Structure 1
Amino acid sequence: MKGFQITFFAEQEHRHDHTPMGDWLLQFAKDNGALGGSLMGAATGFGSAGKMHSTHFFELAQQPVAVTVSATEEVAERLLAAIALEPVTVFYIQVPMVYGRIGKATPPALAGDATDAGD
């Protein structure tokens, strides 16, 4: 099947209301029908302004985070349109993908979760 992989980039300190941006984006994507998603923290990164952001032992606020979600074309369009209406600004990359399941094992009871690999 075909769809899109969308990766959003933020810093740990960025928030939507009182929720960390990464957590909000992941839940928002789930609530809007994404097939699956992951929130990952990075040690170091830089943005379009060229400023380095890194995780420090006592200060995690500038930790770069990435939220990667998989979605059908329809859901990807709807998700990006919905985020555009929110009081946030977030950089993202959207790339076409092919997705599916492979292997001989009987798949687990999926209940709509595309990220349950290894269950």
Structure 2
Amino acid sequence: MNRGFQISFFTEQSRRKDGRPMGSWILETARSMGIPGGSLFSAAEGYGRDGWLRSASFFESGQTCVEVRFALSEKDAERLFSRLREEGVDVFFVRIPIEFGMTGEP
């Protein structure tokens, strides 16, 4: 069993970085860094600190809220946060201490 962090980044589908949606950019950047595994989820509805309700049912699908989630070692978490700082990415996150592993591992 490993100890580390579950890290979730929250953004809007319409936010972009280097021409790509921010959520996809974070996921692809982590993958290019060799970080093992991540997922992107689209929310049906949500609101941020600005209080605006965003919904997948609205005509503007770019307003959909997305979450990018990882289960990372402390070392990989620090590498990812360092890269986001270097790239000037400003995105809300939640970092929770966790234990993780594979069910087949001793």
Once residues 27 and 14 of structure 1 are traced to their aligned partners in structure 2, the CA distance between those partners, rounded to angstroms, is 15
Once residues 91 and 58 of structure 2 are traced to their aligned partners in structure 1, the CA distance between those partners, rounded to angstroms, is 26
Q: Does 1:71 align with 2:72?
A: yes
Once residues 83 and 58 of structure 2 are traced to their aligned partners in structure 1, the CA distance between those partners, rounded to angstroms, is 35
Structure 1: state its 5+ residue gaps. Answer: 105-119
- Counterpart secondary structure, 1:36: coil
Using CA pairs under 8 Å that are at least 6 residues apart, name the structure with larger relative contact order, 1 or 2: 2
Structure 2: state its 5+ residue gaps. Answer: none
Of 42-51 and 10-19, deviating more is 42-51
Alignment correspondent of 2:60: 59
Contact 1:16/1:24 (<8 A) preserved: yes
- Greater helix share, 1 or 2? 2
Alignment of 1:1-119 (within 5 A): 1-56=2-57, 58-103=59-104
Contact 1:39/1:66 (<8 A) preserved: yes
Instruction: Read off the aligned partner of 2:69 and give its amino acid letter.
Output: T
Contact 1:29/1:69 (<8 A) preserved: no
1:52-91 Cα offsets, whole Å, 9 max, x none, are 1112353211000000012110010111011012133110
TM-score after normalising by structure 1: 0.80
- Counterpart secondary structure, 2:29: helix
Q: State the identity as a percent.
A: 43
TM-score after normalising by structure 2: 0.89
Once residues 89 and 18 of structure 1 are traced to their aligned partners in structure 2, the CA distance between those partners, rounded to angstroms, is 16
- Greater strand share, 1 or 2? 2
Instruction: Read off the aligned partner of 1:47 and give its amino acid letter.
Output: G
Instruction: Read off the aligned partner of 1:46 and give its amino acid letter.
Output: Y
What is the Cα deviation at residue 9 of structure 1? 0.4
1:74-111 Cα offsets, whole Å, 9 max, x none, are 0101110110121331100111111111149xxxxxxx
Alignment correspondent of 1:112: none
- Counterpart secondary structure, 1:25: helix
